[in-house]
Amino acid sequence: MLQFLTKRLIGLLFVILGVTFLTFIMGYFAPGDPIVQLLGQHFSRAEYLQLKHAYGLDLPWYQQYYNFLKHLVQFDFGYSYQYKNRAVWDILKDGVPISAELGLWALLIQVLVGVPLGIFSALKANSWLDTTNMGVMLAIYAVPVFVLGVLVQVAIVWLDQHVGFGWPAANWGNAWSYSWSDIQFKLFPILVYAATGVAYFARLSRTSMLEVLRQDYVRTARAKGMTERVVVYRHAFGNILIPIITYLGYAISFLVAGAFFIELIFNIPGIADITLSSIQNLDYPVIQATTVLLAVVVVLGNLLADILYTVVDPRIKVS
């Protein structure tokens, strides 16, 4: 296991290195000058050269990239171009916990709701319960998350106007705080964010369970007189976890991408607004920082999936 983790972590470093290089090169060759953007109407040649030297932008590209990596090892993302003398992490430190909270709760709901729903449908296969459940899941999965978010907001506003619903349609509240007012802000964004994943996990779990229930060892377990609960949860459940764990790594990647839609629709002060503002203002240090952080989340999600393989199925050897 230690050898496996070492190899995976080395692979992680190479992936992050590749992401930083691509992000840096795209920013380096992108049109526009961030220093001109920073100075605006107060542009002067002397101040322009001074700021360019201060940010190290008068160095060759390879020297700039080396300096970026050197600071990154120390968890220093440098200083923003948009906000003079303000550290990048100082800009991100309030948004990252909010985005992490949104993503974590959405992922938990996807797994804890989607998987049981799929198993339930498999055990009631071809009944009206199964048909209704899978029909609803298919409809939810077919609706893009940004469309579902807008529909939910419209419904909240309509209910507030007609029945005094009194539920906030936007914003987030305090990060990792769960007073009643905070829950009101967070509940619908999290549910909307999780909806598509719940639908996919449910359909995947149903398909996997139906396939496992047709296997010979399951029929043998039933022939021995075991109860259906024992057959399902002791013999069948463990074997449907492999495809679920496989999708778990992809689900984390999808959550990273979907966060931008949800945060913009519900006006959540996470990293989406920061990133888009940085793109508009050519604030490359902030863009590089958010890209690296998101890449780390995606790669760690896939690493987690690889580790979980060995937990649910000891026959899988890590090497």
DSSP string spanning 105-152? HHHHHHHHHHHHHHHHHHHTTTSHHHHHHHHHHHHHHHS-HHHHHHHH
Query: Which pairs count as long-range contacts for 28-33, CB under 8 Å and 24+ apart, including other chains?
Result: 28/61, 28/64, 30/282, 30/284, 32/282, 33/282
Cα separation, 192 vs 51, in Å, equals: 44
Question: What is the reported pLDDT for 116?
Answer: 94
Question: What is the reported pLDDT for 46?
Answer: 86
The predicted model gives 36-40 an average pLDDT of: 79
Question: What is the reported pLDDT for 316?
Answer: 62
**If pLDDT is split at 50, 70 and 90, which confidence band does 27 have?**
confident
- Cα 139–Cα 144–Cα 146 angle in degrees, nearest 5: 135
Cα separation, 117 vs 24, in Å, equals: 44
Question: What is the reported pLDDT for 201?
Answer: 94
The predicted model gives 291-316 an average pLDDT of: 81
**What superfamily would CATH give domain 97-269?**
MetI-like (1.10.3720.10)
Under 8 Å between Cβ of 212 and 239? yes
Segment among 2-11, 84-93, 182-191, 256-265 with least mean pLDDT = 2-11
Is residue 256 over pLDDT 90? no
Which residues make up the CATH 1.10.3720.10 domain(s) of the chain?
A: 97-269
68 or 41, which is more confident: 68
Is residue 319 over pLDDT 60? no
* pTM (2 d.p.): 0.87
- pLDDT, one tens digit per residue, over 64-94 is 999 989 988 888 888 888 887 789 999 998 8
- pLDDT, one tens digit per residue, over 261-303 is 899 999 999 888 888 888 888 888 898 899 888 888 888 888 8
Enclosing H/E stretch for 189: helix 180-213
Return the percent helix, strand and coil in the chain, to nearest 5: 75, 0, 20
116 or 246, which is more confident: 116
